[in-house]
Amino acid sequence: MRGLLTSGCWLAVAAALWLPAATAGTFSISPLRVDLSAQAKTAALKVRNEDPGVVVVQAEARLWSQVDGQEILEPTSDLLVSPPLFTLEPGAEQVLRVALRREVDAERESSYRLVLQEVPQPSSPDFTGLNMVLRLSLPVFVAPAAPAEPDLAWSVRRIADGKLVVRADNAGAAHARVLNFRIGAAQGAADGIKQPVVAYVLPGQYREWTLEDPGHLSGPVWLSGRTDSGEFEAELVVRP
């Protein structure tokens, strides 16, 4: 159960947050995000074995895109990850390097994922439990040559079952990270529908959230929240 809970929990955290370090029960990695550019084409991370046993870790890069609101990870040769496979003794650390192998885009940020996965080891003959492995996914962003910022546009619509669908479209040239939002009938009201969410919206893409609407909001509604660029607020009309 420890492996199962740790894997699911820390996969979600690593995908969404940028923290100094995070312990995943079996191994930890720091930092939890990589930023590359024309001036900084390489980055180094530290992977540490927090388990009392030996851990084998495989590391690989994936091209990261969002299509119709869905996350897509594809093989790529744009990034070099070294070493791609390594063994950690208990308490040992490994420096993991990521290097950009292509020119940066002129105007739009490029997005990748660094995926680290524990390689399962043979179980003892008398083992009868379920063997779980840890998998972490970290964002890797490559800044374009020109300055780039996110540009979120929000909308809301009602679907057939009465729920609300809140949508964020990013028309900017860099990613946005949505930390939370709230939608209600009046500006600054304490009630309304609150959504504590951490999600990336990549350039030129969108994300949607489907929400229960017990108050049956209608007419103009107020949406407020926070991204990593700061707080935002918008008056929206609920579309059918």
Range of the domain at 135: 2-142
- Please write the tens of the pLDDT for every residue from 72-122: 999 999 999 999 999 999 999 999 999 999 999 999 999 999 999 998 876
- Indicate if 157 and 134 belong to the same structural domain: no
Q: What is the pLDDT of residue 234?
A: 92
CATH of residue 204's domain is 2.60.40.3970
- Within a domain: residue 11? yes
- Within a domain: residue 77? yes
Q: What is the pLDDT of residue 96?
A: 98
- Within a domain: residue 199? yes
- Indicate if 57 and 101 belong to the same structural domain: yes
Q: List residues bridging with 195 in a β-sheet.
A: 181
CATH of residue 18's domain is 2.60.40.10
- Within a domain: residue 188? yes
Residue 155 — φ and ψ, nearest 5°?
-150, 160
- Indicate if 66 and 132 belong to the same structural domain: yes
- Indicate if 157 and 138 belong to the same structural domain: no
CA angle 225, 230, 232 (to 5 degrees): 40
- Indicate if 135 and 92 belong to the same structural domain: yes
- Indicate if 6 and 122 belong to the same structural domain: yes
Going by C-beta distance under 8 Å and a sequence separation of 6 or more, which residues neighbour residue 60? 81, 84, 114, 115
Q: What is the pLDDT of residue 125?
A: 60
Q: What is the pLDDT of residue 194?
A: 85
Predicted model pTM: 0.82
- Within a domain: residue 163? yes
Number of domains in the chain: 2
Q: Last residue of some domain: 95, 111, 142?
A: 142
Comparing 11-20, 28-37, 105-114, 219-228, the range with the smallest average pLDDT is 11-20
- Indicate if 8 and 122 belong to the same structural domain: yes
- Indicate if 104 and 37 belong to the same structural domain: yes
- Indicate if 115 and 161 belong to the same structural domain: no
Q: For 2-27, what is the mean pLDDT?
A: 42
Q: Averaging pLDDT over each range in 10-19, 24-33, 39-48, which range is the top one? A: 39-48
Closest CA to 134 of 1, 237, 8: 8
- Indicate if 47 and 118 belong to the same structural domain: yes
Q: Last residue of some domain: 119, 142, 165?
A: 142
Burial class (CB in 10 A: 0-12, 13-18, 19+), 190: exposed
- Within a domain: residue 147? no
- Please write the tens of the pLDDT for every residue from 136-148: 999 999 999 999 9
Burial class (CB in 10 A: 0-12, 13-18, 19+), 212: exposed
Confidence grade of residue 69 (pLDDT, cut at 50, 70, 90): confident
- Within a domain: residue 108? yes
- Indicate if 74 and 192 belong to the same structural domain: no
* Residue appearing with tokens 């009868």: 128
What is the residue type of 103?
A: E
Q: For 40-67, what is the mean pLDDT?
A: 95
- Indicate if 111 and 180 belong to the same structural domain: no
pLDDT for residue 11 is more than 50: no
Question: Using CA of residue 192, residue 204, residue 141, residue 108, what is the dihedral sign?
Answer: negative
Higher per-residue confidence, 131 vs 119 = 119
d(CA 41, CA 35): 9
